[in-house]
Structure 1
Amino acid sequence: MRVADAFEAAYGRPADVVWHAPGRVNLIGEHTDYNDGFVLPYALPWGVTAALSRRDDDTVRLLSLQNPGDPVVIAGDDDSTGWTRYVYGVVWAMRQAGHPVRGADVAVDGDVPRGAGLSSSAALEVSVASALNELYGLGLAPLDLALLSQKAENDFVGMPCGIMDQAASALGREGHALFLDCRSLGTRPVPLDLAAAGLELLIIDTGVHHELADGQYARRRRDCENAARHLGVKSLRDVTDLASALSTLTGDERARTQHVVTENHRVEAVVGLLRAGVPEEIGALLNASHLSLRDQYEVSCAELDVAVEAAVRGGARGARMTGGGFGGSAIALVPAGRLDAVRAEITTAYAANSWAEPRFLQAPPSAGARRVA
């Protein structure tokens, strides 16, 4: 295993444990997680593999195969920068929670397409959290590890994400999407056998890099929090009379509220259709989700819009942007016999705009975090 070999070469001893955690793609339920709403992601076959060994001091040494060089030595909370903050942030979060975590030597290797909105950061956090959980005998459940990983990203990295990405990485199940109630943290697997219905989920990586920590994501979250406060509810999850709510709000708060409330309804509708065994019927809901993200939440971009429109034109039953937005990836629900036509339509549309050809990925629902060595 490449990461285990790199670990031994860097640190002069074999790793004690090696854990893998996947990235995720979100079928539907965007920007609802931090509003106590519903989401429906699934785990990808790509992720981050982390090799770790304990140390007898509090120092953390980090090596990434995607950032070649000598291990980065972190002796305190102020020493980490860049990608190392996601790893050390997990150590920090565990210590903050009172868990007896000391130092570790760490090597990580990832194959999640970076900048594609497929949650490489959550995969990194959950793989390290899972390994530390075993190394230090903490006995934490997968959801606990997801929450600690979220705390690391929220409070140490400074990215105010919801729980969806980390939960999908920790709790994913092969052949299923994960329905998550982000208030109660209740989960249930939802069968997602697209192949049996003659369908494929095509991921369209636009190649447009997005940086959610630059303030746009945080601004959307503030809009939602302000709207909830004006409506006198704990969160937008609690809005039951949308028409009345919209009549009392204006501007961005009104638009964000409309998206969140209707997106929660769309998630529940998709879950119902999947449980009924008719995944071919969810396409219209994917389309509606994209229009809402584009027009009410304003997190799409030209490349995502063109990809979605071209996919539907080429024969997809539905398509939408996925992830936080401002670039990244779109998904399209495509009859297996139309895959080539959909790819060609998108490629032609990109060429007409003088954009680089996007990358096309196909990925079945895969297992969540697991020990691999």
Structure 2
Amino acid sequence: MRTSHRTSPARRAADAFAAHHGRAAEGVWSAPGRVNLIGEHTDYNDGFVLPFALPHRIAVAAAARGDGMLAVTTIGDDGKPQHAEPVRVAELAPGRVSGWAAYPAGVAWVLRDHGISGGADLVVAGDVPSGAGLSSSHALQCAVALALLGLAGTTPDESAGGPGRLEVARWVQRSENDFVGAPTGLLDQTASLCCTAKHALFLDVRSGESEQVPFDAAQGGLAVLVIDTRASHSHSESGYGQRRQGCERAAELLGVPALRDVTGEGLADALAALPEPLRPLVRHVVTENDRVLRTVDLLRAGQLADTGPLLTASHSSLRDDYRVSCLELDVAVEAALDAGALGARMTGGGFGGSAIALVPEERESAVRRAVSSAFARRSLTAPRLFTAVPSAGAGRDE
């Protein structure tokens, strides 16, 4: 995806802050969107995930203020500012703030419980596509968390006496679950905070253990093509919460802490013990965890091209068992595979958003054309396509 902005989100946020507040920001922090290579709907089941960070980022220019108020301004794609009503940090509570402003306010609400309660002026700019399943909301929240921590003189570094990045990810998860009201798992926040360039992050959600697995598609003559279908989705308004509740109910009936504890060997017995509506959910989670582990093994062995069938199997499972795909995602996957992609799948929570395709570099142009043509034949909104490069996680820009 090519952004129309010539300057980085961090520079735009800093410039807009100076223009709006008449002084320089004390610092600028940014966090990336993410693509999940594989491991969908496994995070809230204590399972395994394998995301990587995008080069697209949300930046927050920030400065402390002494009156305890939180004031947030976002800079739109047209360069125009949008101001949220300032709120007193001490008075924040779920339901107190709605709309887009609830995301930064929710972070301030959680940080208040951890001793970070000062007011701040925040100006936000970014180029992560919203509603595309690329975690723009989590990028915003992670950047706000780092900004508020930074203003308080704290960095997410356990060795320096601060909270660890995984702990901050859990704080961000709480802000979205309990303040915004979206029942998300831990994948997106952790990816935005913890990913590194040229690697995918293999995360065991239950234990918090992680591994940076080498993932440089270009080195192997491959590309990861992201297909933003422009079919917008929302975790808080979609069937995401229903799927999560179904998984929790299935774990309860099976007498296990989470579906992570159901093994492939025990899957048949588990399915036989469950009512029919819950069986497909369990089948997806168990088989998806297995696909993540197999993908990681292939990446460790330098066999990225061989992960293609696992990506495609993941999409079939998400479409048929978890039932979170949609026409646009299915069209994108099918067209990419027909044009020579080694594997393709929807990525993110589903019900819209984006798909990814693992493509030999010499076939990338053909795959792009095939996907665009398939959408046009069905009179669907033209998709946005870009090559994803595993990039660095969140941090301070200036």
Scaled by the length of structure 1, the TM-score of the pair is 0.97
- Residue 172 and residue 149 in structure 1: after superposition, are their counterparts in 2 closer, same or farther (change >3 A)? same
Aligned partner of 1:72 in structure 2 is 85
Q: CA deviation at 1:340?
A: 1.2
Retained in 2: the 8 A contact 1:192–1:365? Answer: yes
Q: Which ranges of structure 1 fall in alignment gaps of 5 or more residues?
A: none
Q: Which moved more, 1:75-84 or 1:117-126?
A: 75-84
Is the aligned partner of 1:270 residue 2:295? yes
Q: CA deviation at 1:356?
A: 2.0
CA distance in structure 2 between the aligned counterparts of 1:201 and 1:100, rounded to whole angstroms:
39
Residue deviations 1:139-191, cap 9 Å, x none?
Answer: 22222221111111111001111111000000010000000111011111000
CA distance in structure 2 between the aligned counterparts of 1:223 and 1:243, rounded to whole angstroms:
18
Retained in 2: the 8 A contact 1:64–1:109? Answer: yes
Identity %: 53
Q: Of the candidates 100, 122, 130, which is equivalent to residue 116 of structure 2?
A: 100
Aligned partner of 2:23 in structure 1 is 13
Aligned partner of 1:171 in structure 2 is 194
Letter in 1 for 2:312: N
Matched residue count: 372
Scaled by the length of structure 2, the TM-score of the pair is 0.91
CA distance in structure 2 between the aligned counterparts of 1:207 and 1:143, rounded to whole angstroms:
31
Letter in 2 for 1:231: L
3-state SS of 2:380 partner: coil
Q: CA deviation at 1:71?
A: 5.2
Aligned partner of 2:152 in structure 1 is 136
Residue deviations 1:188-228, cap 9 Å, x none?
Answer: 10000111111000000101011221141110000000000
CA distance in structure 2 between the aligned counterparts of 1:167 and 1:100, rounded to whole angstroms:
21
Q: Of the candidates 336, 339, 342, which is equivalent to residue 367 of structure 2?
A: 342
Residue deviations 1:248-302, cap 9 Å, x none?
Answer: 1133311100000000000000000000001000000001000000000000001
Retained in 2: the 8 A contact 1:308–1:332? Answer: yes
Q: How does 1:109-128 map to 2 (within 5 A)?
A: 109-128=125-144
Q: How does 1:259-298 map to 2 (within 5 A)?
A: 259-298=284-323
3-state SS of 2:391 partner: coil
Q: Which moved more, 1:7-16 or 1:82-91?
A: 7-16
Q: Of the candidates 242, 246, 250, which is equivalent to residue 227 of structure 1?
A: 250
Retained in 2: the 8 A contact 1:289–1:320? Answer: yes
Retained in 2: the 8 A contact 1:10–1:71? Answer: no
Aligned partner of 2:208 in structure 1 is 185
Letter in 2 for 1:57: D
3-state SS of 1:161 partner: coil
Residue deviations 1:223-253, cap 9 Å, x none?
Answer: 0000000100000000120011011113331
- Residue 196 and residue 56 in structure 1: after superposition, are their counterparts in 2 closer, same or farther (change >3 A)? same
Q: Of the candidates 65, 82, 88, which is equivalent to residue 105 of structure 2?
A: 88
CA distance in structure 1 between the aligned counterparts of 2:320 and 2:84, rounded to whole angstroms:
45
Letter in 2 for 1:275: R
Q: Which ranges of structure 2 fall in alignment gaps of 5 or more residues?
A: 1-10, 155-161
CA distance in structure 2 between the aligned counterparts of 1:79 and 1:242, rounded to whole angstroms:
44
Q: Which moved more, 1:75-84 or 1:231-240?
A: 75-84
Aligned partner of 2:176 in structure 1 is 153
